[in-house]
Structure 1
């Protein structure tokens, strides 16, 4: 009996489905595929994942509960999707390939973030729990490293308090969630059921 194991490597900068969702007139989330516009990018990426998963693991179907070890390699330390949003996006593509039956099979997940500006990619190992198990520990370093510091995400900066020079009143300033530039209310374009505000210039770039 062969061991339940598969490995998939997909080259290219990993992307998250959450960045490419649109809503139709009924408010339902949709993922465009052949609109010829920027939002097609995720659906095409999902197809690439499915293709590579099947090509790299021919005649393999994993039906049991699984351990997943996912290593994500970004081009940049500063500009990349939230790594916590990446697994769902990848597993949707793996499920579409037929390599697994359902992404609910993933019962244990190790997720690691790395950087490779020459070869961004993700590497995923799937291991059947009937054969493999996880044994890990967290230890304190003998010597500390320079911390990787993070700033607040753009959606936290969309509303901030600014004091004017000639007034003690606080003024709420709304900013475009893509470019971060201040917006006047009449210039703001609402998206994502009113939760996202963007400027006209950024809207034109998206479409």
Structure 2
């Protein structure tokens, strides 16, 4: 019986990144990934379990122990709103490692990532090849007919970083201080996502890229 050195797994649903669901402990400065709060923050932990389950069901009894080549195809539901594909790779491989299909995600020494869009069937498809039997061979070619470019814009909070020098001079230090002061005074209070009570920003912890906040009291109850 020949040694198995290939595996493929397909997980349906919009791929997500664990970086969007971490909470940060301001005391220890360490990231925490909740899994049993019953709230939105548990979403990645559930997704990771789903990845591990699908790996086991689709590749029963398979354990890849050698160095690997990985080909990851990620299909998002939307072209405009989706996680950073570079970050999502680590999140997916963590779920694969949890399944026992691979020993450690450090086994992946060569990686190809491709981004696609499928509104009706978002998913990711991952193929793993053992380097003892497979080699990577790829090339980049110039198109005979130029295609319509897919252009990206900076996030709204970073658009001013790309302004020219004259526009930058127009925003002097006094204007910047005034804008910062107004913004701070309006956002001193946040609403806890778990208990829905107002909390002072100094007593809250942020997650989901700063979009969500929880109070210290609810944070302690998570553990």
TM-score, normalization by structure 2: 0.76
Structure number, greater radius of gyration: 2
From 45, 49, 56, the counterpart of 1:54 = 56
**Number of aligned pairs?**
191
- Alignment partner, residue 184 of structure 1: 183
From 38, 41, 62, the counterpart of 2:40 = 38
Structure 2 gaps of 5+ residues are 189-200, 219-223
Computed over aligned residues only, the root mean square deviation of the Cα atoms, in angstroms, reads: 3.1
Shift of 1:169: 5.1
- Alignment partner, residue 31 of structure 2: 29
Matched residue SS, 1:119: coil
Matched residue SS, 2:40: coil
More strand by share: 1
More helix by share: 2
Shift of 1:28: 1.4
- Whether contact under 8 Å (1:16, 1:86) holds in the other structure is yes
Q: Which runs of structure 2 are paired with 1:137-156 in the superposition (5 Å)?
A: 137-154=139-156, 156=158
Q: How far apart, CA to CA, are the structure 2 residues paired with 1:155 and 1:20?
A: 21
Structure 1 residues 45 and 142: alpha-carbon distance in aligned structure 2, compared to 1, 3 A threshold: same
Q: How far apart, CA to CA, are the structure 2 residues paired with 1:11 and 1:154?
A: 31
- Taking CA–CA contacts closer than 8 Å with sequence separation of 6 or more, which of the two structures ends up with the larger relative contact order? 2
Matched residue SS, 2:7: strand
Shift of 1:153: 2.7
